């Protein structure tokens, strides 16, 4: 049976479907992960000397073996970061969340990052897409990754179909150990599932072992990713040691909420999702339409106050666009007290997003010229 069956839980979280009001605590129990507790948060701060708002706010909230990564790091053993993106369309700002965090991790720990763009996955799982579509979106998405300012010396971005020669031997080792009944149970596949999809977890597992292959010794790998990706890596972890590698560790983030106040931000709902390619007027329009915690009328809101806890504008601020905790709290307090109405509150967010996007888009336009610094392909002699 598919995990988190909607009828039972009221929400669904799988790598291909995220719906409903997600109970993140329940996911920790269902998936069998550990919560990122205060002790661990303090440890990170001790080790690197600062913290990140996504940790403080429990946006990254769950993990597997992150304590082991820190133990090793403190003993002088470096780890590698690995994350990825399924290029089903343009990047939206929700996607940037874990990437911004991955960059912070790279800067703090000075480690290599492997970034997988799974054009194969999106081709296999989205019936109508062609390989040309998913490959060109992969290149578009790569521009966003580069624009975030990752260190070119330490960042290796690859598109699966351009890098399969490196990945395939590793995917085969995983594929040989995964059996259909496990994959079926974890993902809810049935007899109509195409066989490419059934093999796919092996491809997403391969980069977990790539650093060890490249270094010629066992390298611990830490994967910052949305909690929806955990099922893949649970399978990877089950086979890792039997094929001679270390189990990858994980740090899970909650999924960025959508502007309509339900579910997560999704590229298939363009009106309630902000893309990195959006113009200021698009952003303004989408934020104007956003679901808020406001009251029916201005006078009622002044009198009774709004509810920032259910407000998607406040959520956007909290998840991505305001790193200053005091500012976030201050706006929430003013909202509850009826001292700020939705119009000016939305304007603050629009200003933040548009400021961010105008800088991001400038860097994004130049990113194409920098592909050779970041993108690795099969059999490249100069693989960094």
Applying CB under 6 A, the residues found at the interface with ligand TRP are 15, 82-86, 116, 118, 121, 204, 223, 225, 229
Task: Using the Cα atoms of residue 22, residue 229, residue 70 and residue 101 in order, give the sign of their dihedral.
Answer: negative
First and final C-alpha spacing in the chain: 43
Nearest distance, CB of residue 340 and ligand TRP, angstroms:
36
Q: Select from 319, 291, 317, 292 the least CA-distant residue to 306.
A: 292
Nearest distance, CB of residue 302 and ligand TRP, angstroms:
43
Nearest distance, CB of residue 164 and ligand TRP, angstroms:
14
| CA 270 – CA 274 distance, rounded (Å) | 7
**Structure tokens, 188:** 């809810």
Q: Which is nearer to ligand TRP, 115 or 318 (by Cβ)?
A: 115
The helix (run of H) or strand (run of E) holding residue 80 is strand 80-85
The helix (run of H) or strand (run of E) holding residue 213 is helix 210-215
Q: Which is nearer to ligand TRP, 83 or 314 (by Cβ)?
A: 83
Nearest distance, CB of residue 121 and ligand TRP, angstroms:
6
Nearest distance, CB of residue 160 and ligand TRP, angstroms:
9
Nearest distance, CB of residue 236 and ligand TRP, angstroms:
10
Three-state DSSP at 200 gives helix
With 0-12 / 13-18 / 19 or more C-beta atoms within 10 angstroms meaning exposed / middle / buried, residue 375 is buried
Residues 73, 134 contacting (CB under 8 angstroms)? no
Q: Select from 207, 206, 189 the least CA-distant residue to 198.
A: 189
Number of CB atoms found within 10 A of residue 235's CB: 21
Nearest distance, CB of residue 25 and ligand TRP, angstroms:
21
């Amino acid at each position: 049976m598919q995990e988190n069956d909607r009828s039972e839980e009221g929400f669904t979280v799988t790598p291909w479907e995220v719906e409903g009001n997600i109970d993140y605590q329940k996911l920790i129990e269902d998936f069998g992960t550990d919560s990122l507790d205060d002790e661990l948060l303090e440890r990170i701060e001790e080790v690197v000397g600062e913290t990140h708002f996504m940790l403080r706010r429990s946006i990254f909230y769950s993990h597997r073996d992150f304590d082991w990564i820190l133990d090793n790091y403190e003993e002088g053993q470096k780890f590698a970061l690995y994350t990825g993106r399924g290029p089903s369309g343009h990047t939206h700002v929700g996607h940037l969340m874990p990437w911004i965090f991955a960059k912070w991790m790279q800067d703090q720990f000075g480690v290599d990052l492997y970034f997988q763009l799974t054009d194969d996955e999106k081709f296999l799982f989205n019936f109508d897409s062609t390989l040309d579509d998913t490959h060109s979106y992969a290149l578009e998405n790569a521009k966003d990754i580069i624009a975030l300012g990752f260190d070119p010396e330490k960042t290796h971005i690859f598109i699966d179909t351009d890098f399969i020669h490196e990945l395939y031997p590793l995917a085969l080792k995983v594929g040989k150990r995964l059996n259909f009944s496990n994959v079926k149970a974890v993902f809810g596949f049935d007899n109509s599932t195409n066989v490419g999809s059934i093999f796919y977890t092996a491809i997403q597992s391969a980069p977990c072992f790539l650093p060890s292959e490249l270094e010629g010794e066992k390298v611990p790998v830490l994967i910052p990713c949305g909690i929806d990706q955990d099922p893949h890596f649970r399978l990877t972890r089950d086979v890792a040691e039997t094929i001679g590698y270390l189990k990858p560790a994980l740090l899970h983030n909650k999924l960025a909420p959508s502007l309509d106040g339900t579910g997560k931000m999704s590229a298939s709902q363009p009106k309630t999702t902000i893309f990195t390619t959006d113009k200021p007027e698009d952003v303004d329009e989408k934020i104007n339409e956003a679901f808020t915690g406001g009251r029916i009328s201005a006078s009622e809101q002044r009198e009774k106050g709004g509810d920032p806890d259910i407000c998607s504008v406040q959520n956007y601020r909290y998840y991505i666009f305001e790193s200053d905790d005091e500012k976030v709290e201050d706006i929430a307090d003013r909202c509850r007290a009826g001292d700020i109405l939705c119009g000016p509150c939305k304007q603050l967010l629009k200003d933040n997003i548009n400021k961010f996007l105008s800088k991001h888009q400038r860097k994004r336009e130049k990113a194409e010229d920098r592909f050779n610094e970041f993108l690795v392909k099969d059999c490249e002699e100069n693989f960094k």
